[in-house]
């Protein structure tokens, strides 16, 4: 793939993700998935006690 305006080597190094930034992204996604799974347990069905 050719870019009409390729970046210089130093610019590429500045915009490339680091190991830390990639690990942080995976951690955030993992935490979100855990939260979504735990919320599913609670369900959203009406319970009899909610009506009284």
> What pLDDT score was predicted for residue 34?
81
> What pLDDT score was predicted for residue 44?
63
With a CB cutoff of 8 Å and minimum separation 6, the contacts of 7 are 15
Q: What ranges do the domains of the chain cover?
A: 17-44
Higher pLDDT: 49 or 3? It is 3
* CA 22/CA 38 separation, integer angstroms: 25
- Give the model confidence (pLDDT) of 7-16 as tens digits: 999 999 999 9
> What pLDDT score was predicted for residue 39?
65
- Give the model confidence (pLDDT) of 21-38 as tens digits: 999 999 988 888 887 777
Q: Is residue 52 over pLDDT 70? A: no
């Amino acid at each position: 793939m050719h870019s009409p305006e390729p970046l210089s080597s130093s610019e590429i190094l500045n915009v490339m993700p680091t190991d830390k930034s990639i690990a942080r992204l995976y951690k955030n996604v993992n935490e979100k998935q855990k939260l979504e799974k735990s919320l599913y347990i609670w369900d959203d069905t009406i319970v009899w006690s909610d009506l009284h």
